[in-house]
Structure 1
């Protein structure tokens, strides 16, 4: 049997929390769209496999773009970058205090170092 989380704030006539303004209801999940971490951000846009668009260049590794190994590297870089931003950068930037040990902090820096090296190896592909 699961426990219910305590309700914070008043509920409006629709049953949704009203927050600080009784006349403003928070958006439903359908209205809000996908969670922030699943939206296409700069990292995903920059490393997408699809070709560049006007004002949306892409970072590309050298090599044949049609091989499985090139695609794996491109996708891997995209997801490593997204994970590093979510799990490392956002935690460090938004928490009052991080509790990483020195070893953990060095490992996080190593992850970011690999990512930075990969980005330096890429070329910028622009729409023509």
Structure 2
């Protein structure tokens, strides 16, 4: 379960949704009240869906089906999600878990923008692959290159050699010829190769093995976020 920053707020939204979608008896003002109730439900449902997806990306596949009751499946899901949030908060309080937590939304925008849609639908392996492609595309755009990609692109971009025609370089630090400069460039080049050779390529070839756990996918995204930030912060040197 992905941690919710403000659990109390989420519980309040779910409580209101559960209350509004509970069937009521009919009174003389039923028509007016029912219209207002439906309007509020529709407005609130936008937020509730976001909470569902945040807590459980696969929530849509777990909904029950009630053909005669429009909101009953979502009401039941709201109750389930509410229970999960409460139990998570209670467990955290009892165990005293105050360790640092990583939110996907805090990753570099290139990574999360590339992964978001697939991640929210529960396709974690594919989300990592999409993020890797996005980082590669942004690097190509920054360097103005389409002739190479991924490992070959970054081996060239982070080379300690001077730029050549058609082969600009990314510089994380000023090229002063020092050991520090060479170490930084070598580290970035090796890290980029590790991301694509060790994460992106296996993910593409092992798709038939099924998905990977959410926490493992988040670790992979974090690796690409580091690379994306280095690329974004680098200056480009042309010949």
- Do the structures match in fold with TM over 0.5? yes
> What TM-score, normalized to structure 1?
0.62
Match of 1:89 in 2: 200
Question: How much does 1:99 deviate?
Answer: 4.6
> What TM-score, normalized to structure 2?
0.35
Query: Relative to structure 1, is the Cα distance of residues 64 and 49 closer, same or farther in structure 2, using a 3 angstrom cutoff?
Result: closer
Equivalent residues of 1:65, 1:71 under 8 A apart: no
Question: How much does 1:105 deviate?
Answer: 0.8
Q: Mind listing any 5+ residue stretches in structure 2 that lack a counterpart?
A: 1-150
- Mapped to 1, the partners of 2:215 and 2:190 lie a distance apart of 23
Query: Relative to structure 1, is the Cα distance of residues 54 and 64 closer, same or farther in structure 2, using a 3 angstrom cutoff?
Result: closer
Match of 1:59 in 2: 170
Match of 1:10 in 2: none
- Mapped to 1, the partners of 2:153 and 2:163 lie a distance apart of 13
SS of the aligned residue for 1:41 comes to helix
Aligned length: 88
Q: Mind listing any 5+ residue stretches in structure 1 that lack a counterpart?
A: 1-39
Residues 68-121 of structure 1: per-residue CA shift (max 9 Å, x gap): 222111110000000100011111222223552211111111000000000111
Larger Rg: 2
- Mapped to 1, the partners of 2:180 and 2:223 lie a distance apart of 21
Runs of 4+ in 1 over 4 A off after TM superposition: none
Query: Relative to structure 1, is the Cα distance of residues 94 and 65 closer, same or farther in structure 2, using a 3 angstrom cutoff?
Result: farther
Quote the RMSD (CA, aligned, Å): 1.6
Residues 38-75 of structure 1: per-residue CA shift (max 9 Å, x gap): xx711101110000111111111133432222211111
Match of 1:43 in 2: 154
SS of the aligned residue for 1:113 comes to helix
